Chains A and B, each alone.
Chain A
Amino acid sequence: MIIVKDLSVDRLDKKIFEKVNLSLTSGNITILKGKNGSGKTTLLKAILNIIEPSFGSIYWKGKLLKKNLYDFYNHVTYISDKTSSLKKLTLKDNINIWKRFFCSNINNSQIETALKTLKLENYLNQKVGTLSLGETKKLEFLRLIIENKSVWILDEPLSNLDESSIELMKQTFEDHCAQEGSIIFSSHQNPGIYVTEEVNL
């Protein structure tokens, strides 16, 4: 579905990466590997058309991504390495806001089971600011289920997670791929997740 051809990005006349090729079809997992500062986040942002590449092109469903931007955005969930849940509000409010804002057709029982598997069901009336780093990270992943879109773009999804949560993520990734979804994520360590394509930056 996504094809990236000869993508290069420059910043202040300094090359960040050069001639990256990757293709993502449904049911595939692609991992971006590289050292710190090798441009993993930049590549993800370039795929999302937030950063303009200096050279190369990106295609979505056979058309140029720029011509087809909002259709692409309708099919993609991006989770950055920042905490995007609102710290002043409770978990419940956050979930409600996301659910309505993304016009999702997920019912409450599905969200409850997701909360239970993420072990967050006891914190529902707490403010997000009181949660620990790993718990806020897990809360971010709830957005994947709420948005219910086919392409997942994840920036460092496995950092700050304990081992049982990583197992859970593996399971989630496999389930998503079984449903014809596709995932592209970046990682600086070896995750031990089965991937179909590996891009080294």
Chain B
Amino acid sequence: MKFLVNPSKFNKIADYVFKPLLILSIILFALGLLFSFYLSPDDYQQGSTVRIMYVHVPSAWLALLTYAIMTLYSIAGLAFRIPFGFIINTAVAPIGAVFTLICIISGSLWGKPMWGTWWVWDARLTSVAILFIIYLIIIFMNLSFENRIVREKVVAIFVLVGSINLPIVKFSVDWWNTLHQPATISKLSKPSIDPSMMIPLIIMTFAFIMVGLAIAILRIKIEIISRKSNLI
């Protein structure tokens, strides 16, 4: 597991893993799109629009997961002085921002036929919008500091402070009565989703994870190289 904290070992594993990952993600995406468009049933209430879920839910999960990973690596970077944490922080933030953007756009596309508006000011939507802005602030911070040591640590502190938003996003549907429906899939209780919809959702989630990982590996490698040559 040392490749998770050591840049040179990460490079080795990444070289080994990158191509299979790419192929796997293409296969999974094709399979997932096939399942979600043709091999899954319509919802009895929502009709065909339920298929937006297969993009919306995985991207939302990954937006949260990316931020959680950044939080963990910020702690590693600040508390245990592992510089790889800062590398991950700078590399992964745009990916999380894109996932959040996909989540917001697909959500508002879903909301128009279902709720009648593109956007509602309810707790879940607002907190996700704030998550997106936090991602943007992290990206801008990465661009606007001149001194690298200050930049990476300040960004890590900001990530930790901003992680207050994570539980708010996750539990906003339980804490407040919102228009957004509560979670239908959870580990602790039996999921309230039909298996025929569950399968494409899981395939799409894995496809998203694979694509995210592939892009993350590329970005982390760029970051490591540019640090070694003192470009930034």
Please report A residues at the B interface, Cβ cutoff 8 Å. 11-13
| In the complex, B180 has a CB within 8 A of chain A | no
A-B interface contact total, Cβ < 8 Å = 5
Shortest CB–CB separation between residue A41 and chain B, in angstroms? Answer: 16
Please, which residues of chain B bring their CB within 8 A of the CB of A13?
Answer: 230
Complex Cα distance, B164 from A23, in Å, reads 48
Which B residues from 82 to 125 make CB contacts under 8 A with A?
none
Complex Cα distance, B230 from A13, in Å, reads 9
Please report B residues at the A interface, Cβ cutoff 8 Å. 148-149, 230
Shortest CB–CB separation between residue B88 and chain A, in angstroms? Answer: 19
Complex Cα distance, B151 from A12, in Å, reads 12
Shortest CB–CB separation between residue A178 and chain B, in angstroms? Answer: 43
Complex Cα distance, B230 from A106, in Å, reads 51
Complex Cα distance, B70 from A165, in Å, reads 56
Residue pairs across A and B with Cβ atoms less than 8 A apart, 5 shown, are A11-B149, A12-B148, A12-B149, A12-B230, A13-B230
Complex Cα distance, B149 from A102, in Å, reads 33
Please, which residues of chain B bring their CB within 8 A of the CB of A12?
Answer: 148-149, 230
Name the residue of chain A whose CB is nearest to the CB of B149.
A12
Name the residue of chain B whose CB is nearest to the CB of A13.
B230
Shortest CB–CB separation between residue A159 and chain B, in angstroms? Answer: 25
Please, which residues of chain A bring their CB within 8 A of the CB of B230?
Answer: 12-13
Shortest CB–CB separation between residue A53 and chain B, in angstroms? Answer: 14
Shortest CB–CB separation between residue A184 and chain B, in angstroms? Answer: 26
Complex Cα distance, B149 from A12, in Å, reads 7
Shortest CB–CB separation between residue B94 and chain A, in angstroms? Answer: 24
Complex Cα distance, B114 from A173, in Å, reads 82
Name the residue of chain B whose CB is nearest to the CB of A11.
B149
Shortest CB–CB separation between residue A34 and chain B, in angstroms? Answer: 23
Complex Cα distance, B147 from A12, in Å, reads 9
Shortest CB–CB separation between residue A66 and chain B, in angstroms? Answer: 16
Complex Cα distance, B148 from A12, in Å, reads 8
Please, which residues of chain B bring their CB within 8 A of the CB of A11?
Answer: 149
Complex Cα distance, B230 from A12, in Å, reads 8
Shortest CB–CB separation between residue A52 and chain B, in angstroms? Answer: 11
Shortest CB–CB separation between residue A87 and chain B, in angstroms? Answer: 26
Shortest CB–CB separation between residue A198 and chain B, in angstroms? Answer: 31
Complex Cα distance, B176 from A138, in Å, reads 64
Name the residue of chain B whose CB is nearest to the CB of A14.
B230
Complex Cα distance, B148 from A38, in Å, reads 21
Complex Cα distance, B149 from A13, in Å, reads 11
Shortest CB–CB separation between residue A10 and chain B, in angstroms? Answer: 10
Please, which residues of chain A bring their CB within 8 A of the CB of B148?
Answer: 12
Please, which residues of chain A bring their CB within 8 A of the CB of B149?
Answer: 11-12
Shortest CB–CB separation between residue B145 and chain A, in angstroms? Answer: 13
Complex Cα distance, B230 from A199, in Å, reads 31
Shortest CB–CB separation between residue B80 and chain A, in angstroms? Answer: 16
Complex Cα distance, B148 from A11, in Å, reads 10
Complex Cα distance, B147 from A11, in Å, reads 10
Complex Cα distance, B148 from A58, in Å, reads 27
Complex Cα distance, B223 from A98, in Å, reads 47
Complex Cα distance, B230 from A11, in Å, reads 12
Shortest CB–CB separation between residue A187 and chain B, in angstroms? Answer: 27
Complex Cα distance, B26 from A26, in Å, reads 73
Name the residue of chain A whose CB is nearest to the CB of B228.
A13
Please name the 5 residue pairs, one residue from A and one from B, whose CB atoms are nearest each other, closest first.
Answer: A12-B148, A12-B149, A12-B230, A13-B230, A11-B149
Shortest CB–CB separation between residue A102 and chain B, in angstroms? Answer: 30
